[in-house]
Amino acid sequence: MTTITVARKGREVAIAADSQSTFGDTRLTSTYDARYNKIFQLDDSFIGISGSAAHDLVFQSALSKLKNRDFSSRAAVFDTFRKLHPKLKEDFFLKPDEEENDPYESSQMTVLIANPSGIFAVYSMREVYEYTRFWAIGSGRDYALGAMYAAWNTLDTAAAVAQLGVEAGCEFDINTAAPLTLYSTTLRD
């Protein structure tokens, strides 16, 4: 699993992630993983994915081939993921089944996005949320959210908030480990 955080403070938005991958009881740390960075940049967006390790290359490849991708608003992010879902199924053989009573097919991943338009999360059934302060995903999310909430008024930057969240995940979540990666950008006017 993982801990990935986003934060928005003032005109800054930031995203941070740990570097450990876990396969059952085996962990792959940055010492052994040549590509441990869980955040990738696409256009002016920084994107982190939680879920199966297989999502990383599949998601990057599918997004890079998608025409008219747009992460500038909640509605635009939703439309991008709506167009992406059939490509994940057809070109990459995504298995969209989760629970029998689910109202929609699952994309099987949770995604955080930080860009000059704000901070967004996309959940498995393409639910899109836009956040005003901060959020976290992955197995260390509860620790991250608690730390970011407790320190919100004492930290000056979005980068400091996002970093603190991942550090809390590294401290308490068995599936999260340092080093962390951190990116930030400035909101559009």
CATH architecture assigned to 3-184: 4-Layer Sandwich (3.60)
pLDDT score at 52? 72
Residue 62 has pLDDT above 80, yes or no: yes
**Strand 39-42's sheet: what is its strand order?**
39-42, 45-51, 109-115, 118-122, 128-131
**What SS3 class is residue 73?**
coil
Residue 40 has pLDDT above 90, yes or no: yes
**Global pTM value:** 0.92
Residue 105 has pLDDT above 70, yes or no: no
- Could you tell me the residue ranges of all domains in the chain? 3-184
Determine the length of the chain.
189
